[in-house]
Amino acid sequence: MNPLNESPHRRYNALTGDWVIVSPHRTQRPWQGQVERLAPGRSPSYDASCYLCPGNERAGGHRNPSYTSTFVFDNDFAALLPHTQSFDFECGLLRARSEQGLCRVLCFSPDHSLTVSRMSDAALALVAAEWGRQFTELSSIPFVRTVQIFENRGQMMGASNPHPHCQIWATESIPFEHTREFETQQAHLRQHGACLLCTYLTQETAAAERIVCENDSFVALVPFWAVWPFETLLLPRRHTGSLDQLSANEQLDLANLMRRLTTRYDNLFESPFPYTMGFHQRPAGGGEHPHVHMHAHYYPPLLRSATVRKFMVGFEMLGGPARDITPESAASRLRACGETHFLDAPGA
């Protein structure tokens, strides 16, 4: 008997220092809820009411150009602003500090109907190339310390528009999640003389049981310490600190793996699969950061079907995260989904 598959236990997250409770025995309890699929619904290639489609007027009054590939613009309702008045407030335990920043939107394609899982590798490679250019440009701004690229897919994840796009936030500070990962990676390099995620990827590749899909440059896997049921981690095989360091071939391989992974997500419940995805990269502003290994996190909320999601409640809000489906089981289910999108299957 493998206790990791049978008994309650905790797993250590080597990247953040956190722990997650895993309760594999709970998957044997009866489930009386519905297992549903959502009608996929086909969006038009152009939507006159979409503020991200080519030629349309945005909510802020600006009009999009008739773009034919990727399109980047400053968010009309940005959460952070570049000319915020500087202040530092402290009163006992009450502290606040001003935060400068830039927020941009990157449209992946002029085609309103597409998703990452339905785009071509060549088109997605243009997105990856633009991510690299945005990192270079934004990290050269003197006050910027972090460039956070992220995509929210689906209404369940708060996406306000289905047009294929992501957001890019350049911040004056280094966010908490980044800081924790930087600290653990730096400590591992000091102690072992090796990159934490390079070492981890070698171990996962040898074990193979949590690998979902891979190619020459990238590997997508369910991390040993995953919290969300079908959480994945996308890692470059080559030690790379940021997206601007990828070669043209690596950009194409990144596109390929993103498409294949998100296709498996969609195939899992034969429905558009919601997730939040984001890249963690080296700090902006130059300097040597040999401990940082660029990677992308995929955090999808779905649990048993297209309409049954995992909620972080009870012990998880008050104590710490927990999961029932083991990461190994999640990886196995994703591998079994195949890479022909369900909408392209015969008879679809």
Q: Which of 181, 180, 176, 175 is nearest to 200 (CA)?
A: 181
Q: Which of 254, 305, 74 is nearest to 168 (CA)?
A: 74
Task: Give ∠ CA 196-197-201 in degrees, rounded to 5.
Answer: 125
The alpha helices in the chain, defined as continuous H runs, are: 3-6, 121-139, 176-192, 196-207, 248-268, 315-318, 327-335
The answer to whether 319 touches 268, Cβ cutoff 8 Å, is: no
Q: How far apart are the C-alpha atoms of 167 and 73, rounded to whole Å? A: 10
Residue positions annotated with a catalytic role? 165
User: What's the number of CA atoms in the CB half-sphere (13 Å) around residue 204?
Assistant: 27
Q: How far apart are the C-alpha atoms of 246 and 261, rounded to whole Å? A: 19
